[in-house]
Amino acid sequence: MHDANKPRDTRAPVVGENVTRLDGAAKVTGVARYVDDLPAMPGELHGATVRSPLPRGVLRAVMLDPSFDWSDVTVVTAKDVPDNVVQLIVDDQPVLAAERVNHRYEPVALVACADKAKLARAVAAVTLDIEPLPAVFDAEESLLGRTVIWGESNVQNRYLITKGAADADDGEAAFEAALRACDVVVRGEYSTHHQEQLYIETNGMVAWWDDDGVHATGSLQCPYYVHKAFKRCFHLEPEQIHITQAVTGGGFGGKEEYPSLIAMHAALLAKKSGRPVRMIYDRVEDFEATTKRHPSRCIVETGCDADGTLRALKMRVLMDAGAYVTLSPVVLSRGVLHAGGCYRWRDVRIEGVSVATNTPPNGAFRGFGAPQTTWAIERHLDAVARRLGIDAGELKRKNLLAEGDSTATSQVLHGSIGGAECVEKAFAASDYVAKRRRGPIVEGRKARGIGCSVFMHGGGFTGSGERMLKGKVAVDLLLGGRLEVRSASTDIGQGTETIFAQIAADAAGVSISAVSVAVPSTTRVPDSGPTVASRTVMVVGSIVERAAREIAERVEAVRRAGESFAAAGDRLLAQEGPQTALVQYEPPAWVNWDDKRYKGDAYPVYAWMVDVAEVEVDLDTFETRVLEFWSAADVGKAIHPLMCKGQLEGGSLQAIGWALSEEVVWKDGAIVNPRMTNYIIPTALDAPPFHTILVEAPYAHGPGGGAKGIGELPMDGGASAVAAAVEHAIGVAIDHLPLTPERLFAAWARSNSEAAQ
């Protein structure tokens, strides 16, 4: 089956083909090794975490029960941490709480023991003496700053985006004047709630020390995040740190920054005990302690002409960061950058604020701020359409950004703009226009309606991010005409390994079976940047392509007439020694971003998507079922159409779950429902049939003929499409997530009593 020996021009391209995923066989036979499947190392201990039972307080003491046998138990507290800071953006989060606790479940002490049953008793034998302090749980309350829990005012970050009138010296007044001068001004408030990533594999890590330094292997998205955290925490040289990804059972952002913490915890225990330590969270601990999607509250006011031409947008975006900063500045940034939606605005004033609360830090979750602001702008345009008496789909289509238009950050769009085509295709496939016009269908106690959302999502890091990041990839020429791709981009289910192999195979002109992709380990792979921000295919894939092409060119330069690629490659290796192409990413030269004024090319390109949801609301129970879900997405170029659709559908269902059933219930900073039994994600019966249409408006700088990033895109719009459909079905506009039966019933009852008055 090995056709690497064939002359390289006879093979068919694999980009655009649905090749069997390279990790498929291992995953369907059960041999793929996730972190908890790795065999126990000699002398291995199990590790566990002692967490704060209070949301805020002064930590006075960590006390060990003197009647407990601690002889075979290792205990680690803050005083054992060489540099007690989680390295990320702001140095505000300790690896283990030292003097203060700032949220419930905050890690305070660590214990390790060979006997798992005894380990649980050891956790219970640690008592924390904490003097309670007043806590703040609500972002609006935190913004008022009456109780200061973070910094001087609780405010972690602020951004301001201005355009048109708002750019003037007296911007705020000039913008207000422009807004008030509009024919129709509509104001609304929209909020979103926490969401748990709920990857089916919990966070887990194994760590050990040896002569080479420290090793951590586990479930993670970003090996170099962990590497940087270790460098800081343990004051080690980079080459002493070996971070390796095990097969990872889903991430969705939940394994972006969090794994640094659990890896450091395992390594601290391993260091002190001198033994390998395995830490695997159970579901409840994972749910309680790890990051969630930031709750948000957006106040939106817009002005438009009587014919629905949008003119002015004012928005205040408030995000709840939780107790520490973690990635909140970047989440808020992506949130405000997507707050204008995919529409033309003449005047814009978008203000973003993130504040601290005494809840576990919120962090990365697919969409990264954009689902929150997309919810706000899409629901708001539904409200504008209602006011104007026109269909929301028509209003959105009419104002859609097109070639040469400028976004809220004054970025002028050129090329790869598939929005209009997505609208046409999604509307046609779902019969949206006719179904909207026909109105809701009520049969017995069931009401059916249809709704849409239109949105776009920027690929890659924001603004100058990719320029600063300098992601790298290496491709090696191996014997027998084989190539190995070495990158830090992890496959967490989305198919990175397969897609990189496809891209490299076509770029080098070899068979896909001649390409292997290295396990991401900081010892072996260069820093390609993190596996986040819809950047893996579009950004990292583009340098995989360049590196593979470079290797092929070297082989081609020595290849004799009639000689196979493999033979030429082997000769090159024999004569010249190892052949590695190390390529660094360079964003397109025209990308111009002003970080101070928040203006310019926020992202080099956007992927576009239109969702149409058809729902049925039970008028007795107020349960909402999504009956069918149509999407059209402009992905630039689908490297692997089947996996591309799988990403879009999986993301859409996460959005539907966020809209309808997923709700983290809080009481005094604690989570009431940290289980799969009471935090309800959709099952196969809750999920609608997905009808997914791929639109390809190629991006000139994307790999494989124009691929754009789509990993996060589907998370952005599903909730607002569902809410629009519910509104169509029962005539009640819901502006606050989630649309659980209780909330829907309350809103319906309220609207009926208002109508009666």
Partner 1 sequence: MKVALKVNGVQRHVDMAPLARLLDALRGPLGLTGTKEGCGEGECGSCAVFLDGVPVNACLVPIGQCDGCEVVTVEGLAAAGHLAPLQACMAEHGGAQCGICTPGMLIAAEALLRRNPDPTPVEVRTAIAGNLCRCTGYERIVQSVLHAAHELRSTEKGAAE
Distance set, CA 107 to CA 53, 98, 361 (Å)? 10, 10, 12
Q: What SS3 class is residue 458?
A: strand
Q: With contact defined as beta carbons under 8 Å apart, do 316 and 351 qualify?
A: yes
Task: In angstroms, give the least distance from the CB of 641 to partner 1.
Answer: 10
Of 27 and 231, nearer to partner 1 (C-beta) is: 27
Angle at 674 between CA 673 and CA 680, to 5 degrees: 70
Is residue 115 within the footprint of partner 1 (CB under 8 A)? no
Stretch that binds partner 1, among 6-14, 51-59, 617-625, 682-690 (CB under 8 A): 682-690
Task: Determine if 587 is a binding residue for partner 1 (CB under 8 A).
Answer: no
CB of 677 vs partner 1, minimal distance in Å: 5
From CA 428, how far away is CA 275, in angstroms rounded? 62
What is the nearest approach in angstroms of partner 1 to the Cβ of residue 279? 15
Is 34 near partner 1 (CB under 8 A)?
A: yes
Q: Does 430 bind partner 1 (CB under 8 A)?
A: no
**In angstroms, what is the minimal distance from the CB of 653 to partner 1?**
4
Residue 162 tokens read as: 């201005």
Q: Of 5, 13, 31, 467, which one interacts with partner 1 (CB under 8 A)?
A: 31
646 scored as a contact of partner 1 (CB under 8 A): yes
Interface with partner 1 includes 351 (CB under 8 A)?
no
Q: Which of 248, 328, 399, 740 binds partner 1 (CB under 8 A)?
A: 248
CA 556, CA 430: separation in Å to the nearest integer?
A: 50
Q: Which stretch binds partner 1 (CB under 8 A): 351-359, 469-477, 515-523, 674-682?
A: 674-682
What's the closest the beta carbon of residue 115 comes to partner 1, in angstroms?
A: 13
Closest to partner 1 by CB, 255 or 265: 255
User: Does position 21 bind partner 1 by CB under 8 A?
Assistant: yes
Question: Footprint of partner 1 on residues 250-279 (CB under 8 A)?
Answer: 250-252
The region of 247-255, 351-359, 441-449, 584-592 touching partner 1 under the rule CB under 8 A is 247-255
CA 255, CA 220: separation in Å to the nearest integer? 5
Three-state SS at 553: helix
Given CA atoms 727, 732, 738, 739 in this order, what sign does their dihedral have? negative
Closest CA to 385 of 205, 118, 188: 188
672 binds partner 1 (CB under 8 A): no
Asked if 42 interacts with partner 1 (CB under 8 A), we say: no
Alpha helices, DSSP H only, in 167-242?
A: 171-180, 223-234
Based on the shown chain and the rule CB under 8 A, indicate whether residue 282 belongs to the binding site for partner 1. Answer: yes
Q: How far apart are CA 324 and CA 157, in angstroms?
A: 12
**Contact pick of 105, 199, 258, 500 for partner 1 (by CB under 8 A):** 199
Question: Is 683 among the residues that bind partner 1 (CB under 8 A)?
Answer: yes
For residues 683 and 685, give the distance between their C-alpha atoms in angstroms, rounded to a whole number. 5
User: Which range binds partner 1 by CB under 8 A, 91-99, 267-275, 493-501, 705-713?
Assistant: 493-501
CA 86, 92, 98 angle in degrees (round to 5)?
80
Q: Which is nearer to partner 1, 274 or 689 (CB)?
A: 689
Nearest-approach distance from CB 478 to partner 1, in angstroms = 25
Q: What is the sign, positive or negative, of the torsion defined by CA atoms of 246, 249, 252, 254?
A: negative
Q: Name the nearest CA neighbour of 639 among 689, 711, 556, 570.
A: 711
The H-assigned helical ranges of 57-184 are: 116-124, 139-144, 171-180
- Output the CA–CA distances (angstroms, integers) from residue 672 to 133, 194, 197, 249, 382, in the order listed: 21, 13, 17, 25, 33
Taking each helix axis from N to C terminus, what angle separates 370-388 and 713-730, rounded to the nearest 10 degrees? 30
392 binds partner 1 (CB under 8 A): no
The span of 193-201, 393-401, 505-513, 574-582 binding partner 1 (CB under 8 A) equals 193-201
Shorter beta-carbon distance to partner 1: residue 650 or 702: 650
List Cα–Cα distances, 568 to 203, 287, 446, 482, in angstroms.
45, 54, 69, 11
Q: How far is the CB of 252 from partner 1 (least distance, A)?
A: 7
Q: Tell me: does residue 1 bind partner 1 (CB under 8 A).
A: no
Q: Contact between 24 and partner 1 (CB under 8 A)? A: yes
Binding site for partner 1 (CB under 8 A): 18, 20-21, 23-34, 36-37, 197-202, 247-252, 282-283, 492-495, 642-643, 645-646, 649-654, 675-677, 681-685, 687, 689-690, 692
